[in-house]
């Protein structure tokens, strides 16, 4: 029964966000009274903790099973992907709201996940040394891999496929995900942008330092960018107005001058994110409409943006509760990129089998704000180069 509750809770957390976990609905789903739920878990936070702990433990088990196989490193990596995507009887919670846990709980989940990442990095190092995988940065490749897998568990809820359930959806697209991660989207698998666009040039505002309105709007946008950075690192539910004010160095009064409450600020962050995504897509089209370059350019710019001081807000668990206008913009952006991808396939620049990565590639850069402090030795352009190399060309030799 405890496992049954954890499985049902993981579904709810991925759909609604951990902070919106409905204990009554959860009790009804598993056939328990709400009071009986407390026989297994001390409180809501303990339940969230146990879900996240199980997710980290499941991942550890998936990795260890794959390492136990005989065969080359390429086969072990492919087995891991298949196992973690479709060979589980329950949904795995995406670790997007760790800020809701207390310090000890959060540290334990982070410790387990760090061990998992260390093991995946070692798999990549060994595979590259053996010639089974292409040369890449193992630290980044392991995070790109998990980021795409986790995004696959969230994005499908925006596509309308969630009615069939996670397991059925992932089973349906697992081969495409594995193929995409191994072989990328480029038909030639030798893509390299020698002169990638720089974020600061693409996003340079039309700013008049002597105009009061321009000054006010620039302050509002910087506040939104700073708030997005805090939301990205701590999670939306775990972030308060006090947290934002303290971390970006403004007073609460300055925030309330522009926004009535946290919710209004959050929607402004979503709107700014899509304004940037549209800008990045346009920048790609300007370099070659219907080409691989038109797809790789926004990916590179998104990576740079997520590594910057004012990143776009990332999408997290709870996508089902996002306002319809935001959902519509996400669908429209995805549709536009798919049309570009189809044209690139027709030109012979992209692999037909790699199209699933168009929807899942955001997972490759959405983790950057939480991992970035460990990567201070890299410029954001180099970091973006590494991520793009993996998504565009794949990891298989």
Q: What is the mean pLDDT of each run of 10 residues along the chain (397 residues)?
A: 92 87 91 89 94 96 89 84 81 89 95 95 92 92 92 74 61 86 94 93 78 80 94 88 94 94 94 94 94 96 93 77 79 89 96 89 85 65 93 94
Distance of alpha carbon 379 from alpha carbon 185, whole angstroms:
25
Distance of alpha carbon 41 from alpha carbon 251, whole angstroms:
38
Q: Is residue 177 part of a domain?
A: no
What's the total number of domains in the chain? 2
Q: What would the two tokens of residue 54 be?
A: 């199980």
Query: What is the model's pTM?
Result: 0.90
pLDDT of res. 331: 82
Residues 229 and 353 in one domain: yes
Q: Is residue 189 part of a domain?
A: no
Distance of alpha carbon 30 from alpha carbon 16, whole angstroms:
18
Q: Cβ distance 65 to 83 under 8 Å?
A: yes
Residues 216 and 349 in one domain: yes
Q: Is residue 342 part of a domain?
A: yes
pLDDT of res. 15: 83
Residues 221 and 93 in one domain: no
pLDDT of res. 163: 52
| Last-in-domain residue among 90, 105, 133 | 133
Residues 348 and 237 in one domain: yes
Residues 12 and 99 in one domain: yes
| Last-in-domain residue among 112, 133, 154 | 133
Length of the chain: 397
| Domain CATH number, residue 312 | 1.10.357.10
Distance of alpha carbon 388 from alpha carbon 174, whole angstroms:
21
Nearest partner of 344 among 355, 334, 331, judged by Cα: 355
- DSSP class of 367: T
Distance of alpha carbon 295 from alpha carbon 351, whole angstroms:
13
Distance of alpha carbon 120 from alpha carbon 174, whole angstroms:
19
Name the one residue in this structure whose structure tokens are 């790109």: 144
Q: Is residue 385 part of a domain?
A: yes
pLDDT of res. 320: 60
Write out the residue range of the structural domain in which residue 127 sits: 2-133
Distance of alpha carbon 372 from alpha carbon 306, whole angstroms:
9
pLDDT of res. 156: 72
Q: Is residue 149 part of a domain?
A: no
Q: Cβ distance 313 to 273 under 8 Å?
A: yes
Q: Is residue 145 part of a domain?
A: no
Q: Is residue 231 part of a domain?
A: yes
Distance of alpha carbon 192 from alpha carbon 57, whole angstroms:
37
């Amino acid at each position: 029964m405890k496992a049954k509750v954890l499985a049902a809770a993981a579904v709810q957390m991925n759909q609604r966000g951990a902070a919106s976990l409905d204990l009554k609905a959860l009790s009804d789903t598993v056939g328990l009274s709400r009071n009986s739920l407390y026989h297994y878990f001390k409180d809501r936070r303990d339940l969230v903790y146990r879900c996240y702990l199980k997710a980290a433990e499941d991942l550890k088990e998936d990795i260890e099973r794959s390492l136990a196989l005989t065969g080359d490193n390429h086969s072990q990596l492919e087995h891991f992907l298949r196992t973690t995507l479709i060979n589980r009887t329950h949904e795995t919670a995406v670790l997007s709201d760790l800020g809701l846990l207390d310090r000890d709980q959060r540290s334990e989940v982070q410790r387990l996940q760090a061990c998992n990442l260390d093991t995946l990095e070692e798999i990549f190092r060994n595979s590259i040394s053996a010639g089974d995988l292409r040369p890449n940065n193992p630290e980044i490749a392991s995070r790109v891999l998990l980021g795409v897998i986790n995004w696959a568990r969230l994005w499908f809820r925006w596509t309308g496929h969630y009615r069939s359930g996670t397991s059925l959806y992932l089973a349906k697209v697992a081969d495409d995900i594995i193929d995409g991660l191994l072989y990328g989207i480029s038909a030639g698998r030798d893509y390299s942008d020698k002169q990638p666009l720089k974020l600061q040039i693409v996003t340079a505002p039309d700013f008049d330092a002597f105009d009061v309105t321009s000054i006010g709007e620039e302050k509002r946008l910087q506040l939104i960018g700073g708030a997005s950075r805090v939301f990205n690192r701590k999670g939306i539910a775990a972030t308060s107005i006090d947290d934002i004010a303290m971390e970006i160095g403004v007073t609460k009064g300055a925030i309330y001058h522009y926004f009535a409450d946290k919710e209004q600020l959050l929607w402004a962050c979503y709107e700014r994110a899509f304004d940037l995504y549209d800008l990045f897509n346009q920048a790609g089209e300007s370099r070659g409409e219907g080409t691989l370059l038109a797809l790789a350019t926004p990916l590179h710019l998104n990576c740079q943006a997520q590594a910057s001081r004012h990143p776009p807000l990332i999408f997290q668990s709870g996508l089902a509760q996002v306002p319809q206008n935001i959902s519509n913009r996400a669908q429209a952006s995805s549709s536009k990129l798919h049309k570009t991808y189809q044209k690139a396939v027709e030109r012979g620049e992209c692999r037909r089998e790699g199209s699933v990565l168009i929807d899942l590639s955001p997972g490759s850069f959405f983790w950057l704000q939480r991992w970035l402090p460990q990567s201070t030795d890299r410029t954001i352009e180099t970091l973006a180069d590494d991520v793009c190399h993996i998504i565009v060309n794949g990891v298989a030799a």
